[in-house]
Structure 1
Amino acid sequence: MPDEGARHLIAAITTDFTEFPPKALAPGDGPLGWAGYGEARERASQTSGETESVVCGEGRVGGVAAVLVVFDFRFLGGSVGSATGDRIEYAFTRARETRTPLVSLIATGGSRMHEGMLSLHQLQRVARQSTLLHQAGVPQISVLRDPTTGGLWASLGAGADVVIGVEEAQVGFAGRRVRPIGDDPAYTAEGQLANGHIDEVCALEDVDSVLTEWLLLLSSGAPEPAEVPRALGSAEPASDAWSAVRHARSAARPHAESYLDDYFDVRRPISGDRCGGVDAGMLCGIGLRGRHAVAYAAQTGTATTPAGFRTAARLIRLAERLGISVLTLVDTPGAANDAAAERAGAGPAIAELFATVAAARVPVTTLVIGEGGSGGALALAAPDRTWITPDAYFSVIAPELCAAILKRSPEEVPGTAEQLRLRPSDLVELGVVRGIAD
């Protein structure tokens, strides 16, 4: 569907919408006395039917109550002035006081030149309100329409718990008129997704269904620990340690996608570390199991990069703010150990995840479903709520690398694996895991 402004979008995605009392800037040429500003606002009002660039109110999205902040690009390019900031601040305050999720549907060129630094100051107001909403544990979702540029992308948009981009939308801190000439894909919703800055991209006509699922997921947390997933692979324990390693490395055994599909009724992704990185081998998001939401971070069998560890830490912090229990699935030969990983901060990223798991105020449940290789696996594991499947292993390091460190020959690797006591039954006996999933 075409993006035809705030009212059209509100009608398409909400029911029972009630607008908050609108506050418009006083007549005249504004706080700076900018010649022609009053006339420009009058023309924008005639074009859009609005008295400001944003419409705020309360409604229901898919049956879930939400406070909405909806921009109309036809009003001076969706730019932000003092009256815009007043409306947004009122909406955030209302969401915080009523503990109602806030959804912002953004289409803006950024700050309003006619109000100078008073316009730029609104970004601080918005950032403060976003922080207060986070501290109150109230969910916040942003939808980036075409275009979303300037300071509102760097505050209201990027500051949300979940960030959704509309297909082919222009998204970037630098707007088209103030950046280098060209159409670099970095300035698109798809480019922002690829570089770890937004969570998913959808068509404009799908925004209502995507928001419906996200609002349900973010509002369905429960304090109880997540259930341990059932084991999907072989139920037969390995006869020896080297067999356990080979079973865990088998391409035929179930991997994270299979476990997540089996465990959840519906799920949506959290993507990227917000620092320019995405690890396709770390699946993060929130899913619905029965009536309750569970946040998940799942390794897929590859070496985990710093971006993967940081994304998992971000996911756990989000779950903690919203009171959602966490499930982690461990399956990695270990942390990525190439030069690129070192430059990207492998050590600090792993340390951050260790600290996040250790400090989590929501329960974290872990199931080792494949390889549990060294600190790259342990960082994702709950200290006191970890289980393992019969076709998995957990070890201080891969047996081959252990043999290399000890200057043993390749022929000694199976015996080294036995000495490491890495089988599920060994790990239960050692107290490293609570039990073997069935």
Structure 2
Amino acid sequence: MTEVIAKPAIPDDAWIACRRCRRPLYAKRFAREQYVCPECGWHAPLTAHQRVELLLDRDGREELPAPATVSDPLDFVDSRPYPQRLIEARAGTDLDEAVICLRGRIAGAPVVLAVMDFRFMGGSLGTAVGERITAAAEAALRERTPLVLVTASGGARMQEGALSLMQMAKTSQALAQLDEAGVLTIAVVTDPTYGGVAASFASLTDIIVAEPKARLGFAGPRVIEQTIRRKLPAGFQSAEFLLEHGLVDLISPRNQLRSALARLLACAPAPADGAPPADPAGPAATDQESIVVTDPAELTELDPWQVVQRARDINRPTTLDYISYLIDGFTELHGDRAAEDCSALVGGLGLLDGRPVVVIGHQKGHTTRELVQRNFGMPSPAGYRKAARLMRLAAKLRVPLVTLIDTPGAYPGPEAEEKGQSVAIAESIRLLSRLPVPVVAVVTGEGGSGGALALGVANRVLMLENAIYSVISPEGCAAILWQTPREAAAAATALRLTAPELLRSRVVDGVIPEPAGGAQLDQGGAAEALRDALVASLQPLAGLSSEDIVNHRWTRFRRYGTSGEDQGRQA
């Protein structure tokens, strides 16, 4: 075993000035604060060894052997020969290259860790760096152990020419192999991460975590400004900018990074002696008595318009409310990895009754301000594309997917149409229909049209007692067919959108009783009922093969609209 010892970048007895706020910082206190300014939050660069000390448990660290690579493929000379630059970098950093790779544990969870160091020739991606990243990925593949990449780079290493460029392809292929094998990958983006690293392995992991203010991009800001001849906006390419534009999953301050990674790693498939992860939902749970009602006669028939009002009650629990009660160690993941993050749809990883799950749901709010900020729970195309990304993550990790539906419908604005709203919904429905892991969907409030169905193609579809599920809102139906929205109550009755009606038509498989007066009066009680229903619904699916799970879902939805005789043949 090789013990990696931290090598401070700043002498302990020195005073330094914060690069951002310029306040004086005493080095010993600065080190205790993990090199984060206590005044403004500036995160100073860390050496690779310091990163290892920050992240890995002290026991069981083992440095991976460095593969042999070419040293000077071009006989490159600029102001100094390339070999001379390598000698200087090694002397100045006490590293032999710009990355170190190790086996170890983070809060007890096994990982393969690769950490880049910007001090070594700007963390540039050359053959040695690319080979070590690839070898680390291959070790993670053999051992079915999560791969964590800590990035810091100015881009490709020019002194190695096209061979440097090829490292982008090689490392990307290695990440693709981990995708196919179901091995969790996480990137920790530190400042700066640019060029060939940003355009390969740093952007291809399942989850991208960024330190505050860390910059990530293909071209640097100076190059962009010189090219387009205009000033870039403040904060361009910063972690905060990237989060807003859907390109990273979360921002983690340095003092919270280790715990954030530990939560994510708790949801990774457990290594099984080098074998692929078990299929798909893990060991079957003990028998769970379900509170779910499957006989419509056991439900109270309420006036449909009254149920509509209850379903829309601003005090009903939201998806994030339910998650806070149900999901241990939940980490919300953000962004469609293209351009946006939609706040009307939330999702992430966590543990339900000790079992890893992915949870996705519509998010409204309890105040006018929050409702506006969440777009009243009406997702944009970016929301459904974020959901699709999380669905694919559930499939890769072979963990169940839970969806919580509460939306009046997908956002119908012109910008949503311009960005492909119908395509995003259709792709979500198609993806769910073939997802090889158990899916349980619950309508917790409003189930409005295709915007709801995009999360509703599940093996088991439930609804809360005072929820509704419909092809259109009562007001919309009345405006079109009665030609006046004043007939919304009549439309609500005609649409048969309440729990007893939907159970009779088999649109839903069961109904979850709510506390007296409705979920809005007892969030905790409603959450406990939902927990029991989810655990009981996932139990019979746990032992099914991926093929059986997909066929089960196909059969469930194939029956709709057929005659009774045909339904019997399809069941």
TM norm structure 1: 0.94
* Structure-1 residue corresponding to 2:178: 133
| Deviation of the 1:322 alpha carbon | 0.7
Please list every run of 5 or more consecutive structure 2 residues that lacks an aligned counterpart in the other structure.
1-33, 36-44, 226-230, 271-279, 293-297, 365-376, 514-571
Partner of 1:120: 165
Report if the CA contact (8 A) 1:238-1:391 is conserved. Answer: no
Aligned twin of 2:264:
214
1:21 equivalent to 2:65? Answer yes
Measure, in 1, the Cα distance between the counterparts of 2:283 and 2:314: 34
Residue 427 of structure 1 deviates from its aligned partner by: 0.6
1:396-435 matched pairs, under 5 angstroms: 396-435=471-510
**Aligned-pair distance for 1:32?**
1.0
**Matched residue of 1:328: which SS?**
strand
Look up the match of 1:143: 188
CA separation in 1, counterparts of 2:334 and 2:289? 24
Give a deviation string over 1:104-129, Cα, whole Å, max 9, x none. Answer: 00011110111111111100001100
Q: Is 1:359 aligned with 2:404?
A: no
Structure 1 unaligned residues grouped into runs of 5+: none
Higher share in strand: 1
- Corresponding residue of 1:312: 387
Shift of residue 218 of structure 1? 2.4
Counterpart in 2 of 1:70? Answer: 115
One-letter amino acid matched to 1:4: L
Give the aligned partner of residue 287 of structure 1.
Answer: 350
Alignment of 1:269 with 2:324, yes or no, is no
| Percent sequence identity over aligned pairs | 36
1:9 to 2:51 alignment = yes
Q: Is residue 401–residue 439 contact of structure 2 (8 Å, CA) maintained in 1?
A: yes
Secondary structure of the residue aligned to 2:197 is helix
1:147-181, Cα deviation, whole Å (9 max, x unpaired): 11112112111100010001111111112442216
Change (3 A) 1:361 1:26: closer
The 8 Å contact of residues 98 and 117 in structure 2, kept in 1 or not, is answered as: yes
Match among 74, 84, 91 for residue 32 of structure 1 = 74
Q: Aligned equivalents of 2:66 and 2:290: distance in 1? A: 50
CA distance in structure 2 between the aligned counterparts of 1:18 and 1:109, rounded to whole angstroms:
27
Structure 1 residues 26 and 117: CA distance shift in structure 2, 3 A? closer
SS in 1 for 2:111: strand
| Structure 2 match to 1:111 | 156
Q: Distance in 2 between matches of 1:297 and 1:321?
A: 16
Bigger drift between 408-417 and 35-44 goes to 408-417
**Inter-partner Cα distance in structure 2 for 1:128 and 1:67:** 17
Whether 1:189 and 2:244 are equivalent positions in the alignment is no
2:438/2:459 contact within 8 Å kept:
no
Structure-2 separation of matches of 1:331 and 1:414: 20
Distance in 2 of aligned mates of 1:353 and 1:391: 26
Deviation above 6 Å: which 4+ runs of structure 1? 224-231
CA distance in 2, matches of 1:147, 1:230: 52
CA offsets, 1:198-241, max 9 Å, x none? 1000112322111111111223683479999989xxx9956211
Letter in 1 for 2:443: V
- Show the 5 A alignment for 1:158-197: 158-180=203-225, 182=232, 184-197=234-247
- Per the alignment, residue 257 of structure 1 pairs with 320
Q: Is 1:225–1:363's contact at 8 Å kept on the other side of the alignment?
A: no
Matched, 1:60 2:105: yes
Cα RMSD between the aligned structures? 2.1
Match of 1:239 in 2: 302
Q: Deviation at 1:258? A: 1.3
Which of structures 1 and 2 has the bigger CA Rg?
Answer: 2
Code of the residue aligned with 1:20 in structure 2: it is L
Indicate if the aligned counterparts of 1:225 and 1:325 stay in contact, CA closer than 8 A. Answer: no
SS of corresponding position for 2:101: strand
User: 1:349-376, CA deviations, whole angstroms, 9 ceiling, x for partnerless residues?
Assistant: 0011001110100010011001111111
How far 1:278 moved relative to its partner?
Answer: 1.1
